[in-house]
Chains A and B, each alone.
Chain A
Amino acid sequence: MTDLAQDLLSSFVIAEAGLNGSKNLGVVNMRKEALDRFETAGFPTTRDEEWKYTNLKPVLKHDYKIMLKSESAVSFGDIKQYLLSNLDTYKLVFINGKYSSWLSESTHQSYDICTFAAALNKYPDVIAKYLGKAAPAGETFVDLNTAFADDGAYIRVKANQTVDKPIEILYITTDENGTSFSQNRNLIIVEQNAEVQVLERHQNLGTAESFTNFVSEVFAAPDARLNYYKVQNDSDKASLVDNTHVNQETGSLVHVGTYSFGGKLVRNNLNFYSGGEHAESHMDGITIIGDGQTVDHHTLVDHQEPHCYSRELYKGIYLGNSHGVFNGKVLVRQKAQKTNAFQQNDNILLSDKAKVDTKPQLEIFADDVRCSHGCTVGQLDKNALFYLRSRGIPKFEAQGLMTYAFASDALEYIKIPQLQKRLNGVIAEKLGINLEFAL
């Protein structure tokens, strides 16, 4: 057992005493059971099939502080650049895992956009109904989060409501605690025929190493619509394990876009449970990373009911000595006849030292289905490059344009133009080109 795992186990008693869920007996038991499971399992190693290509040892070796203090010295000016400018949004800002009311803009009017901590006390029946129902017990990082997470975003949109503006969730880490290990949790409930757009971002403002173990549970009731964008452009001191579990009911549509440009090690566990007929699941991702960075996308679409549709498109561009991992699993259960599942993972290695490991996986138990997946690793088309250069576009710029074209498919599904523009800017910066034309 690693030192960090020991630290976590021993600090649970202190953490538990300070947890605001202590009044709620069900939650307390849930935390204890989750911790017991973590104690037995410990952190995964590369010997686990699901972690074969991603070694956590280098990021888990730091002496992380587990009980974090918030910091009041963060001003709006410090975080402004991480929010979408010129767009009115609801904002939920957390500093070192604690809710910062003076930086946030929450609401309880038509819909609940507030914190997980508040919901634990205020809505015990909702918590009892949903908490832990999407994220499966037995996954190490989920269990660990269940045991410790005391705050995060809580979004509940009641039936037939459309949230009037997007919701931005920002998790800030500062140097206040030194190397810090933070665990927060989102609970997003979209009721029948309701609609909402959510943006999420983790940012380390300091210079110390940070590790975030994050869980989001999403529940989409019949005909609900959710767009969930995850922008990952953190500093090279920050590591993140992001666990997102989406439960879908009949006719619901959920889109999760994961845009990874930064961070030292990012692992995304994205799981869809398609539990109602005609549910649609969309997953997009762009990864552009460089020296010393690892991004690992693990996705699962579990088709449990007939007539469902899933679409998955992940693009990866790897520079420097970066390492990309993709593991996409499509599971079609026996009952899920007439499933239409599509999965595509394309990768470009732009440097000699970059490497990519990809494993697109199909597990199919129903016969009347259409499932396909494709996966490529390749380079830019030399003829197209020559064409651009023959028209007077310098090589570097031509490469940038083509790389942008390669990746931009995965941006099409974004419904917020400001976000699309913002991401275009990040991609242009990463590739070192000018993309004014696209703006």
Chain B
Amino acid sequence: MSDEILDEITASEYKYGFTSDIESDKVPPGLNEDVIRLISSKKNEPEWMLEWRLDAFRTWSEMIEPDWPNVTYNKPNFQAISYYSAPKQTKTLDSLEEVDPELLKTFEKLGISIDEQKRLTGVAMDVVVDSVSVATSFKETLAEKGIIFCSMSEAIQEHPELVRKHLGTVVPKRDNFYAALNSAVFTDGSFCYIPKGVHCPMELSTYFRINEAGTGQFERTLLVADKGSYVSYLEGCTAPSRDENQLHAAVVELVAMEGAEIKYSTVQNWFPGDAEGKGGVFNFVTKRGICERNSKISWTQVETGSAVTWKYPSCILKGDNSVGEFYSVAVTNKFQQADTGTKMIHLGKNTKSTIISKGISAGKSHNSYRGLVRVGPRAENARNFSQCDSLLMGNQCGAHTFPYIEAQNPSAQIEHEATTSKIGEDQIFYCNQRGIGTEEAIALIVNGYCKEVLNQLPMEFAVEAQKLLEVSLEGSVG
């Protein structure tokens, strides 16, 4: 068994790596059916997958880019993007001294270990071998339980029946503009399947999936938790990632079958643009989960990066007694814009949802919460609690709340409350009095304000996320 995995890993490294001719792996910019055929053939995909992509592309061609979010940006030119390129060989540095000192300073503040720093900045290190072995041992443990955790391309080859059954069932191809685009051109992503009754013994994280060199521009994640299983999935990284792709349009689909529980945590810290608001990543993501009977999906997100964020991790509470949760901290600083929130669609009886959203705006940024709670006519005894608080720092920023509540059942109980305020001068004064500097005091207060959400994060992330908040808000106080 372990030999097989080792073989697989070595093979996969070759697949993406050193010997392939980089020139021939680039597709010229532009998007048409030929490009999609090319992507599909490069990835050696089966016929049905190609058909699926082409259908998505045809749908997308007829769609117009939506403009309802509360954000302004220059619309990307979809014909100027190259939709397929094999993962690039990043320049290997010899030591950390060659790395941008600003970046190192941030790492230090985040408390990231030296080895980790080296990995993130692409410094050559011997520990890679260790990292592979660690990953291998993880793979072994997972395989023993029958858990499938691999890249999407691999899953299409190895487990086509599972992929075919679930892909696009939660986020259909024609769901929205960016989901359709993603469906047509996605190059990779993660696939995870937890068999019946299995409690996944560890936090699954893309970090341990070593054959993934870099997250693509159009990532597709599919996570299926079979009956009675449990999984906690971590995505992203607290370390600042500078990505040359400006547009990111990912799709994440979660399927929680009867009695299953999925916990999905995200920390996003992409390049937010410079101090003048130039550059920065556009993060337009469609994330959605479907809950069968007695199941539960919990989204936790800490959003600090990207110039424009636009995402609504949602739950469709289809089965009776299912539970949806959404915990979010969104921080915007400088010229960042975020329009984020969730949708809780109650369809089954006795369904419950909780929404806790904490927005912090500083600098000249705009932070919007946009949420929908819909209780269908058959959702007896549906229950929702929403709380969205906004914190404003400085008088150049904006905080907005757009909650949509649609109730069609008399037994529904829906509560929504929202507040907007600033950090009290008396709170800061209290800290100052006790020898805590203003900047530290603010970090302290912000952490307290976000506690409800940070508590939901897995241990590994929680500490880093706290520090991340501090770093993101640095210099926001005059």
Q: Which residues of A contact B (CB under 8 A)?
A: 49, 53, 334, 337, 347, 349-352, 354-379
Residues of B within 8 A of A360 (CB): 401, 403, 416, 418
Query: Which residue from B390, B392, B416 sits with its C-beta under 8 Å from A375?
Result: B416
Top-7 shortest CB links A-B? A367-B392, A349-B410, A377-B414, A375-B416, A362-B401, A355-B408, A371-B420
Residues of A close to B120: CB separation below 8 A? none
Instruction: Decide: A349 and B395 in contact? CB cutoff 8 A.
Output: no
Contacts of B413 on A, CB cut-off 8 Å? 376-379
Residues 401-422 of chain B: 1 if any A CB is under 8 Å from the residue's CB, otherwise 0?
1111111111111111111111
- Given A349-B409, A350-B410, A357-B404, A364–B392 Cβ distance below 8 Å? yes
Kindly list chain B residues whose C-beta atoms are within 8 Å of the C-beta of A350: 410
Task: Number of B interface residues at 8 Å Cβ cutoff, please give it.
Answer: 35
Residues of chain A within 8 A (CB-CB) of B417 are 372-375
Q: What is the interface of chain B mostly: helix, strand, loop, or mixed?
A: strand
* Residues B376-426 near A (CB distance < 8 A): 377, 390, 392-422
Query: By the criterion CB–CB under 8 Å, are A372 and B416 in contact?
Result: no
Which residue in chain A gives the minimum CB-CB distance to B414?
A377
> Can you report 10 residue pairs joining A to B where beta carbons are below 8 Å apart?
A349-B409, A352-B409, A354-B410, A355-B406, A362-B420, A363-B401, A366-B395, A367-B395, A377-B405, A379-B413
The smallest C-beta distance from B160 to any residue of chain A, in angstroms, reads 40
In the bound complex, CA of A355 to CA of B420 (Å): 29
Q: Is the CB of B377 within 8 A of A358?
A: no
B402/A359 in contact, CB under 8 A: yes
Q: Which residue of A lies closest to B416 (CB)?
A: A375
- Taken together as a complex, chains A and B put the C-alpha atoms of A350 and B412 apart, in Å, by 11
Least CB distance from B477 to A in Å reads: 11
Q: Please tell me if B48 contacts chain A, counting CB pairs below 8 Å.
A: no
A372 touches B412 (CB 8 A): no
Which residues of B sit under 8 angstroms from A355, Cβ to Cβ? 377, 406-408
Number of A-B contacts (CB under 8 A): 116
The answer to the question of B68 belonging to the interface, with a C-beta cut-off of 8 Å to chain A, is yes
Interface string of B20-40 (1 = CB under 8 A from A): 000000000000000000000
A376 touches B400 (CB 8 A): no
Chain B residue with Cβ nearest A368: B422
In this complex, what residue of B is CB-closest to A53? B406
Sample of 7 further A-B pairs with CB below 8 A, known A364-B399, A373-B418: A53-B406, A350-B410, A355-B377, A358-B406, A371-B420, A376-B414, A376-B416
Identify which of B375, B397, B400, B407 contacts A362 (C-beta below 8 A): B400
Contacts of A378 in B (CB 8 A): 412-415
A347 touches B407 (CB 8 A): yes
Q: Which of A368, A373, A374, A377 has the most CB of B within 10 A?
A: A377
A367 touches B393 (CB 8 A): yes
Interface positions, chain B 122-159, Cβ under 8 Å from A, are: none
Which residues of the other chain, A, contact B392 by a CB distance below 8 angstroms?
Answer: 364, 366-367, 369
**For residues 419 through 438 of chain B, which have their beta carbon under 8 Å from a beta carbon of chain A?**
419-422
Structural contact, B397 and A367, CB atoms closer than 8 A: yes
**Smallest Cβ distance from B389 to chain A, in angstroms?**
9
Find the B residue at minimum CB distance from A329: B402
Q: Which residues of A contact B422 (CB under 8 A)?
A: 367-369
Q: With A and B bound together, what is the CA distance between A367 and B399 in angstroms?
A: 9
Residues in A with CB closer than 8 Å to B401 are 360-363, 373
Contact partner, B403, options A49, A53, A361, A371, Cβ 8 Å: A361
Q: Are the CB atoms of A363 and B400 closer together than 8 Å? A: yes
User: Please, which residues of chain B bring their CB within 8 A of the CB of A372?
Assistant: 417-420
Taken together as a complex, chains A and B put the C-alpha atoms of A367 and B397 apart, in Å, by 8
Q: How far is the CB of A368 from chain B (nearest CB, A)?
A: 6
